A and B are shown apart, each in its own frame.
Chain A
């Protein structure tokens, strides 16, 4: 059961970060993605150099496709690390802690 829950948790995290990648991309490029952004977009915006959106520290926005690619690569790399076997030392440590060995 734990494995199923873990997978579901990871699925939810994946959904969250993928959604945020898109939202960030839209936000950083100055395009509206929702009611809050639309509200912000309706405000007069001071254009500094004609390319940078507010909140980007003067950087030009990253293209949405690039932002999503970065997100995918990051999650792939991180997933690989998440799947690495846990060394026995941690199980022993937790046993020790539970018995009051280091508390």
Chain B
């Protein structure tokens, strides 16, 4: 079977689009899995699936959101099948990964990544999609199959938990002057 020139153009466009989005896919997968090899396997599987089902992608719609949804669903499928990642819905792991606050606003990036990794999976995912990738709450909710309010709540919980674990909440309050009652986030209330 000979491919038509139009088909070749589409394939070429798709290849270029996928290449352009590779850094985002890898960063998202890395942040989700906390394992580079696993993340790259996930990205590879995502690319293959996207290519095989490229006729289902509506031209002009959001390719990045489509790819991220495939990646997320693939990961969820892996989790269900292999259970190769320990979920931390209750945040017990996150609590154990808490970082001592004295470093203040200039704490090491490693500590931040550690704290991010300690977030429950759904909160980490929500924060990455909305806070790092810049998806709207509506798009992120659609990608994760939840309500917009749930997505907002997850992002907020993630921010509060990170701030508490990194001692940012208190640092920010003291930076801003004398803390008012509404500006204080109590530790452990997340």
Q: Are A62 and B186 in contact (CB under 8 A)?
A: no
Q: Are A66 and B20 in contact (CB under 8 A)?
A: no
How far, in angstroms, from A86 to B168 measured CA to CA in the complex? 33
Interface: A48 (CB within 8 A) = no
Q: Are B43 and A90 in contact (CB under 8 A)?
A: yes
Interface: A46 (CB within 8 A) = no
Q: Using Cβ atoms and an 8 Å threshold, which residues of chain B touch A103? A: 51-52
| Minimum distance in angstroms from A61 CB to a CB of chain B | 7
The A72-88 residues at the B interface (CB cut-off 8 A) are 73-78, 80-84, 86-87
Q: Using Cβ atoms and an 8 Å threshold, which residues of chain A touch B190? A: 59
The A82-101 residues at the B interface (CB cut-off 8 A) are 82-84, 86-87, 89-91, 93-94, 97-98
Q: Are A24 and B132 in contact (CB under 8 A)?
A: no
| Minimum distance in angstroms from B46 CB to a CB of chain A | 11
Q: Using Cβ atoms and an 8 Å threshold, which residues of chain B touch A13? A: 133-134
Interface: A43 (CB within 8 A) = no
